[in-house]
Structure 1
Amino acid sequence: MGGVTDVLDPASVLGKAIIVLNAFAADDTGVAFAELQRRTSLPKATLHRVAGDLVKARLLVRIDGDYHLGSHLFELGMRASVERTLLEVATPFIEDLYERTHETVHLGLREGAQVVYVAKIGGHRQAPSPSRIGGRMPVHATAIGKALLAWADEDERTTVLSGRLERLTPRTITAPGRLRQQLDSARENGVAFEYEESAVGLVCVASPVLDTNDRPIAAISVTGAVTRFRPADQATLVRAAAAGVAATLARRGRLGEPLA
């Protein structure tokens, strides 16, 4: 499962609750109790008790016998200061980027070897994409992930490059040396590219949002169908949008404006 469960005792009450919440996938519309038990491996009685407590806390809801993530989780998520501020600042820039390109625009963060998508804007003609708000993808297989990893500390890069690089499509880069070359190129040019590496038929360009110490806060990407979209043609726009978000965040910090 990864993430917070790596540092929590899975036998604790909180650990069990996190295991249950993490068992839900981004595309789940409802999960039956039997499936939830299969995913969590918790004893039946324990899962009944934990799920019941989560329902009482509005972190889960039960509809027609299936469990769904509750609206209170969304409320709590919107109170997260860093992500909320980032969304407030980035939204005008990613909306403008969409208007200029009419392709799918993403805003994402890195958590270890994964990208977490926190915003996605796409029109009626957007190409089918595996990304979704709150969903995750491997950093090595996405332009947005490569943009974030390119500016990460060397030890973080090494950790990802020495780990398992899953092949999602025939074009996914799984050779650490070749991936490192792409990261170095992204660092030099300010943008990273993806050519049908996360999904067949999709190409993408991304640029990082950097803080005043050149550390990656987030990244912005534009994704389109390989039949019509040329990522290199939009590199300047994507780079400018990421720089605009970075400059606005820095200005808020300098002026002492609240970041939450």
Structure 2
Amino acid sequence: MPVKKVASPLRQGSTDRAPEARIQSIGRAKALLDAMAHGAWVSLRDLAAATGLAKTTAFNLVTALVDVGLAEHDGAAGAYRLSLQHIVYGKAVERRLDIAAVARLHLMRLCVTTCETVNLAIPGPTDAVIVESLEGSHTLRASSYSGTRASYHSTACGRALFAYQPVEFRQAIYRLGQLRPTTDRTVTDPLQLEDLLARCRDTGWTTEYEENEIGAACVAAPIFGPNGDAIASVSVAGSAARFDPDTMARTGKLLVSHLAEITADLKKAAGPIPVNSIGSAQ
């Protein structure tokens, strides 16, 4: 008489729980990555506290992250931080985004609303680069062209990007002697420029008045990518005679509102990017 094989209850249960266990492990590992997301070194104790994991569990998981190159370990300090591999992943996401295509409708709306020239710029090694420009409807208006370079210190679109670059990058630009005066109003002192950049980070927008060209003024704000980096900026430029302080403030707030929508659209275009959706850290 043939013997009927019966699946072991233990084996069957283990198989059923395996997907859940894998998801839980991924969720815990992601919680550790989130705890290191600010970029600084974090002690094992603080990692455990931030994630709610037992120290042994946190140690095993963060060690695995170090082993696969997603985290770095300072043995002397007993601390951990994100590895540079995450830059590779972030740039890969950015490369699949057509910023100009996503932003174009918003740029058109800004151009119609303000009647001024609207520019889209992206960061370059030593300055920003205009990649899209829509001319305003005023007879006397600012003109820019795709491929035009915009300095980080004397243009609003450059400052809106420069403000969010790492301090090491900004210091390198200063050492290269890039703060050349374009007009007698151009800010060329690094300390003064740092104050302007800090104000940009506080308000979300920045300005320049006849610093890049006599008779012209500009207001700009950054666009943030899915990983939180400033990947582009949008500026509204025109005759300095039309850009009094009140107009600049209104334009700055208008930009922040529109660019938040562009940032949201970029996240949609990038596709699903797990933030807090993979299981629980517990």
Settle same-fold status: TM greater than 0.5. Answer: yes
For the residues of structure 2 that align with 1:191 and 1:126, how far apart are their CA atoms? 26
User: Where does residue 106 of structure 1 map in the other structure?
Assistant: 119
How far off is 1:163 after superposition? 2.7
Tell me, what secondary structure is at the counterpart of 1:144? helix
User: Where does residue 159 of structure 2 map in the other structure?
Assistant: 146
For the residues of structure 1 that align with 2:103 and 2:117, how far apart are their CA atoms? 15
Matched, 1:116 2:133: no
Tell me, what secondary structure is at the counterpart of 1:141? coil
How far off is 1:130 after superposition? 6.2
TM-score by length of 2: 0.59
- On the 8 A contact 1:105/1:120 being kept in 2, the answer is yes
For the residues of structure 1 that align with 2:267 and 2:186, how far apart are their CA atoms? 35
User: Where does residue 68 of structure 1 map in the other structure?
Assistant: none
User: Where does residue 193 of structure 1 map in the other structure?
Assistant: 207
For the residues of structure 2 that align with 1:238 and 1:251, how far apart are their CA atoms? 20
For the residues of structure 2 that align with 1:90 and 1:250, how far apart are their CA atoms? 12
Paired amino acid for 1:91: R
- On the 8 A contact 1:104/1:126 being kept in 2, the answer is no
> Whose RCO is larger (CA < 8 A, sep 6+)?
2
- On the 8 A contact 1:129/1:199 being kept in 2, the answer is no
User: Where does residue 250 of structure 1 map in the other structure?
Assistant: 267
How far off is 1:240 after superposition? 1.4
User: Where does residue 220 of structure 1 map in the other structure?
Assistant: 234
Matched, 1:169 2:183: yes
Matched, 1:133 2:146: yes
Q: CA RMSD in A?
A: 1.9
How far off is 1:168 after superposition? 0.4
CA distance 1:104–1:85, change in 2 (3 Å):
same
Q: Deviations over 1:112-165 (max 9, x none)?
A: 221100011113426454632111121111000000010111111111233321
Tell me, what secondary structure is at the counterpart of 1:170? coil
- On the 8 A contact 2:135/2:141 being kept in 1, the answer is no
Between the two proteins, the alignment pairs up a number of residues equal to 176
TM-score by length of 1: 0.63
Paired amino acid for 2:101: E
Matched, 1:88 2:105: no
For the residues of structure 2 that align with 1:109 and 1:127, how far apart are their CA atoms? 26
CA distance 1:102–1:184, change in 2 (3 Å):
same
- On the 8 A contact 1:129/1:202 being kept in 2, the answer is yes
Matches within 5 A, 1:229-244: 229=243, 230-244=247-261
User: Where does residue 210 of structure 1 map in the other structure?
Assistant: 224
- On the 8 A contact 2:153/2:159 being kept in 1, the answer is yes
Q: Deviations over 1:82-121 (max 9, x none)?
A: 4971111000000011111000100001102211000111
Percent identity between the two aligned chains = 31
- On the 8 A contact 1:131/1:137 being kept in 2, the answer is no
Paired amino acid for 2:181: R
Gaps of 5+ in 1: 1-80
Paired amino acid for 2:100: L
User: Where does residue 21 of structure 1 map in the other structure?
Assistant: none
- On the 8 A contact 1:103/1:126 being kept in 2, the answer is no
